[in-house]
């Protein structure tokens, strides 16, 4: 066990010092024995700190942790500090409200958990050891299996998608595309196509007019991301959170936890999403399971099976066949350009592209140069495979260069202005080419930008002179791709708690029980000690002293006056809840008032947790009342 630090002891003392007087002295009397008056509170706190710093006591506390304890602790290790009510709300799908309420209260009584500004935190003296015992299961289900080898939206898929829409000139899904992507089911492939079209249009990577156009500069920036980062970005873009930087961190954590779990049931998946949403301070998105399924991260097969998100693999050499098909195994690197000058034929374990005259011309039209293609083929294939192919491509390229067609604006100027236009660095990206020393072909789509540059340089440019009205499409607003990519590059698989906990059978200390039973105390004192022993609050023989801390913990059956007395003790107390067992249901309540009818029948007015709905219940109809103590700072 790690040596305790002075900082942890200071934290423990500070947290305990904020407790209400009732809660503080209840704990002090339980762990230190009889508290004599007059007393010095800082001295009592120091004694409590010393008690919980003893290695023997810490080991006993850790030995007594059972499965439900570890579920609650594991939840807090995922989310960070939470209010008790939030813990109960998150776990209500697996356990009853009363069960979680009692156990959270018990963990506070055992000082496994403390409260800090109303939120549950690990005892600083035990934090490191408690964290080691946290696990993802059984919190998120109990089944364990290897990750599924199912397809998902990887950079490899994205390259194939760009290649396909460049060939087709449209983004609408067609049934025959399933032949190109045989590992995908038709329905899931269509969902993926539709989602990609929406996201890439948002980012202005693809623009849909009469024909689809691809901004390859932005596409290449997107393809710099690895598999994990790409899926984080795609999920974040579909997230309901407006703070995309928080959504990216959330998605990265979510992927890391899912990969560790390998499979989850629907309830566990929703709990994981809710827990991480709380951790990252974003709204819960009920559609997140659908988004995960769309991108191929999870697949429903009885339970949700998680895809094996692969790490980057070293690229294999290209194999070039005589019919100009190019194939490879594994994945290409981030700067690969094969998809730019070839059309996809099959994306499976082996990827196959086809280099045609049309795909080559399409690449040249998109701005890729023959030199780029030549260098790529030389670096990624053997000379025997690429020599003849490059000769054929060189001949096509020479014919291609014979004619150039531009869609731009002609800028005519005098020699002085021409010198400025030619040598102003800011105008370089807006200038297609020089038609003569004083005539330039400028980009139409950035006319507004280069006019501002000319104006800033002190030149006066009149309106565009034209003989025919040309419709110029307005520039669309897009999400900031640069900011999103910057956030995505910071997404990396994160470390999670171990998947499976090492549960040991919890054995009660028979020597402590025997010491209580043999002590020369009254029946009430022994009963109180045994109650606290069963609640795992007795760690040492030094706690076995002649006192009664809890006069009555529960009352039921025919003990009408006991039930009334217990209800009256709880009225108006915010640190106490009552668990009520009725004939047909169990309620956890806060007592508001005890009143009497004309016939002197006691009525208990309560606020039912967690909705705080007010009800009035005849105490005679309550079978059992159990006192549950909370410790709030």
pLDDT at 553: 78
pLDDT at 5: 77
pLDDT at 356: 96
* pTM given for the model: 0.84
pLDDT at 3: 53
Tell me the pLDDT band of 632, cut-offs 50, 70 and 90.
low
pLDDT at 622: 93
Residue 77 has pLDDT above 90, yes or no: yes
**pLDDT average, residue stretch 223-246:** 88
pLDDT at 472: 47
Tell me the pLDDT band of 550, cut-offs 50, 70 and 90.
confident
pLDDT at 135: 93
Q: Is residue 263 within a helix (H) or strand (E), and if so which, with residue range? A: strand 263-264
Residue 234 has pLDDT above 50, yes or no: yes
Q: Could you tell me which of 515, 527, 591, 581 has the C-alpha nearest to residue 553?
A: 527
pLDDT at 37: 77
Coil, strand or helix at 195 = helix
Whole-angstrom Cα distance, residue 597 to residue 578? Answer: 22
**pLDDT average, residue stretch 317-330:** 94
Residue 289 has pLDDT above 90, yes or no: yes
Q: Are 278 and 288 in contact (CB under 8 A)?
A: no
pLDDT at 551: 63
**pLDDT average, residue stretch 77-97:** 92
Residue 159 has pLDDT above 60, yes or no: yes
Q: Could you tell me which of 412, 463, 416, 458 has the C-alpha nearest to residue 434?
A: 412
Q: Please state, in angstroms and as integers, the Cα–Cα distance from residue 588 to each residue in 98, 324, 398, following that order.
A: 6, 73, 83
Residue 507 has pLDDT above 80, yes or no: no
Residue 478 or residue 233, greater confidence? 233
Q: Could you tell me which of 355, 361, 416 has the C-alpha nearest to residue 386?
A: 355
**pLDDT average, residue stretch 455-463:** 86
Residue 477 has pLDDT above 60, yes or no: no
Q: 228: which residues sit within 8 A by CB, 6+ positions away?
A: 252, 255, 309, 491, 492, 493
Angle between helices 67-79 and 266-280 (to 10 degrees): 50
Q: 65: which residues sit within 8 A by CB, 6+ positions away?
A: 73, 112, 133, 506
Q: Are 599 and 118 in contact (CB under 8 A)?
A: no
Peptide bond into 213 cis (omega under 30): no
Angle between helices 41-53 and 55-63 (to 10 degrees): 70
> By percentage, how much of the chain surpasses pLDDT 70?
95
pLDDT in tens, 235-254: 999 887 667 778 999 999 99
pLDDT at 1: 43
Q: Please state, in angstroms and as integers, the Cα–Cα distance from residue 465 to each residue in 402, 437, 468, following that order.
A: 29, 21, 9
Whole-angstrom Cα distance, residue 563 to residue 566? Answer: 5
Q: Give burial (CB, 10 Å; 0-12/13-18/19+) of 208.
A: middle
Q: Are 67 and 52 in contact (CB under 8 A)?
A: no
Strand order in the sheet with 408-412: 408-412, 439-443, 431-436
**pLDDT average, residue stretch 439-454:** 91
> Which tokens go with 123?
């005892």
Number of Cβ within a 10 Å radius of residue 143:
15
pLDDT in tens, 208-217: 887 899 999 9
Q: Please state, in angstroms and as integers, the Cα–Cα distance from residue 22 to each residue in 25, 527, 574, following that order.
A: 6, 21, 11
pLDDT at 242: 63
**pLDDT average, residue stretch 348-364:** 94
**pLDDT average, residue stretch 598-617:** 92
Residue 471 has pLDDT above 80, yes or no: no
CATH topology (fold) of 554-629: SH3 type barrels. (2.30.30)
Residue 468 has pLDDT above 70, yes or no: no
Q: Could you tell me which of 348, 305, 312, 256 has the C-alpha nearest to residue 148?
A: 305
Residue 631 has pLDDT above 80, yes or no: no
Residue 25 has pLDDT above 70, yes or no: yes
Mean pLDDT score of the chain: 90
| Residue tagged 């330039």 (tokens) | 440
> Which tokens go with 223?
């393809």
In 3-state terms the chain splits into helix, strand, coil percentages (rounded to 5) of: 45, 15, 35
Q: 5: which residues sit within 8 A by CB, 6+ positions away?
A: none
Whole-angstrom Cα distance, residue 457 to residue 453? Answer: 6
User: Domain-by-domain residue ranges, the chain?
Assistant: 1-134, 155-306, 319-402, 409-457, 510-543, 554-629
Residue 2 or residue 76, greater confidence? 76
């Amino acid at each position: 066990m790690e040596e305790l630090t002075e900082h942890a002891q200071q934290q423990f003392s500070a947290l305990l010092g904020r407790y209400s007087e009732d809660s503080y002295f209840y704990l002090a009397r339980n762990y230190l024995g009889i508290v004599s008056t007059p007393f010095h509170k800082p001295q009592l706190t120091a004694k409590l700190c010393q008690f919980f710093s003893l290695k023997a006591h810490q080991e006993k506390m850790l030995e007594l942790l059972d499965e439900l304890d570890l579920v609650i602790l594991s939840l807090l290790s995922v989310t960070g500090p939470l209010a008790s009510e939030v813990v109960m709300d998150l776990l209500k799908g697996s356990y009853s409200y009363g069960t979680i309420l009692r156990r959270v209260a018990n963990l506070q009584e055992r000082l496994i958990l403390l409260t800090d500004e109303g939120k549950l935190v690990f005892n600083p003296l035990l934090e490191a050891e408690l964290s080691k015992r946290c696990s993802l299961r059984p919190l998120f289900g109990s089944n364990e299996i290897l990750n599924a080898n199912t397809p998902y939206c990887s950079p490899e898929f994205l390259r194939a998608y760009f290649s396909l829409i460049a060939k087709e000139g449209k983004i609408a899904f067609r049934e025959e595309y399933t032949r190109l992507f045989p590992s995908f089911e038709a329905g899931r492939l269509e969902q993926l196509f539709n989602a990609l079209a929406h996201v890439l249009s948002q980012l202005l990577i693809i623009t849909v007019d009469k024909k689809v156009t691809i901004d390859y500069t932005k596409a290449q920036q997107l393809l710099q991301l690895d598999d994990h980062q790409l899926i984080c970005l795609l999920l974040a873009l579909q997230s309901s959170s407006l703070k995309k930087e928080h959504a990216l961190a959330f998605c990265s954590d979510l992927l890391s936890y899912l990969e560790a779990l390998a499979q989850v049931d629907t309830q566990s998946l929703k709990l994981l999403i809710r827990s991480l949403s709380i951790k990252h301070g974003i709204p819960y998105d009920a559609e997140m399971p659908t988004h995960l399924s769309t991108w191929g991260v999870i697949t429903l097969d009885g339970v949700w099976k998680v895809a094996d998100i692969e790490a980057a693999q070293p690229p294999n050499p290209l194999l070039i066949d005589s019919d100009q098909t190019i194939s490879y195994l594994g994945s290409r690197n981030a700067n690969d350009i094969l998809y730019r000058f070839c059309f996809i034929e099959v994306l499976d374990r082996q990827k196959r592209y086809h280099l045609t005259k049309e795909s080559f011309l399409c690449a040249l039209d998109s701005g890729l140069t023959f030199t780029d293609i030549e260098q790529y083929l030389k670096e990624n294939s053997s000379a025997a495979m690429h020599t003849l192919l490059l000769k054929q491509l060189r001949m096509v390229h020479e014919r291609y260069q014979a004619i150039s067609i531009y869609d731009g604006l002609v800028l005519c100027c005098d020699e002085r202005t021409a010198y400025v236009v030619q040598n102003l660095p800011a105008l370089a990206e807006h200038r297609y080419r020089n038609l003569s020393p004083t005539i330039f072909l400028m980009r139409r789509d950035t006319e507004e930008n280069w006019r501002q540059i000319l104006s800033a340089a002190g030149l006066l440019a009149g309106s565009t002179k034209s003989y025919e009205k040309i419709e110029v499409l307005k520039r669309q607003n897009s999400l900031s791709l640069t900011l999103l990519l910057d956030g995505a590059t910071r997404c990396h698989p994160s470390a999670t708690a171990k998947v499976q906990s090492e549960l040991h059978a919890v054995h009660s200390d028979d020597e402590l029980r025997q010491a209580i039973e043999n002590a020369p105390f009254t029946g009430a004192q022994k009963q109180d000690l045994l109650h606290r022993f069963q609640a795992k609050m007795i760690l040492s023989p030094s706690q076995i002293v002649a006192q009664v801390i809890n006069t009555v913990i529960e009352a039921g059956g025919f003990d009408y006056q006991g039930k009334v007395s217990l209800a009256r003790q709880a009225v108006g107390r915010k640190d106490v809840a009552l668990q009520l067992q009725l004939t047909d249901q169990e309620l956890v309540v806060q007592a508001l008032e005890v009143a009497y009818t004309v016939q002197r029948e006691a009525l208990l007015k309560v606020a039912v947790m967690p909705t705080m709905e007010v009800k009035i219940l005849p105490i005679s109809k309550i079978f059992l009342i159990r006192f549950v103590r909370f410790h709030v700072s």
